[in-house]
């Protein structure tokens, strides 16, 4: 349902929120999150433009969260890179429907509304604080059972 861009943006902010407040370079974030550097650079630019992440040049600089993890919602991150688009008028352009959605599109929009509500009520800090045996930055792309992912390291 969500694109790789959204996945990468979420991985980047999770990494920034879980690290010390000092800045991280794009290379450091790419390595920690298993996101290709060039793609990550574009994602980070979108996050900077929307005020989710800030960039500081020079010694001690790098990328940091611009919004505290306790205030940064998943919806804010998602909307910074690929806004959730609600269905306001007939997606097929049928004049007879206009703003009166058919039952199918009304249900699809209701599902989008539920996703928005869930994401807007979930902060990054809540995600990081949730007790679990798995960590938020699991290998990506997901490996098939029994096979090692190319992004996993063996030591």
pTM over 0.75: yes
37: how many CB neighbours lie within 10 A of its CB? 12
Assigned CATH class of 4-85+123-129? mainly alpha
Residue in 40, 31, 3, 33 with CA at minimum distance from that of residue 15 = 33
Instruction: State how far the Cα of 147 lies from the Cα of 52, in Å rounded to an integer.
Output: 36
Q: In which residue ranges of the chain is pLDDT below 50?
A: 142-155
> Which helix (H) or strand (E) element contains residue 88?
none
- Mean pLDDT for all residues in the chain: 84
Looking at residue 139, what is its pLDDT?
Answer: 54
């Amino acid at each position: 349902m969500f694109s790789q861009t959204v996945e990468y943006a979420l991985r980047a902010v999770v990494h920034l929120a879980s690290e010390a407040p000092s800045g991280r370079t794009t290379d450091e974030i790419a390595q920690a999150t298993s996101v290709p550097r060039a793609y990550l650079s574009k994602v980070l630019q979108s996050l900077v433009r929307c005020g989710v992440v800030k960039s500081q040049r020079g010694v001690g600089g790098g990328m940091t969260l611009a919004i505290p993890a306790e205030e940064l919602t998943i919806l804010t991150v998602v909307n910074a890179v690929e806004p959730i688009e609600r269905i306001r008028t007939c997606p097929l352009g049928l004049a007879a429907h206009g703003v009166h959605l058919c039952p199918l599109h009304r249900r699809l929009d209701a599902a989008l509304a539920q996703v928005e509500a869930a994401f807007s009520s979930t902060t990054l800090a809540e995600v990081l604080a949730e007790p679990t045996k798995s960590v938020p930055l699991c290998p990506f792309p997901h490996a098939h059972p029994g096979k090692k992912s190319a992004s996993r390291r063996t030591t």
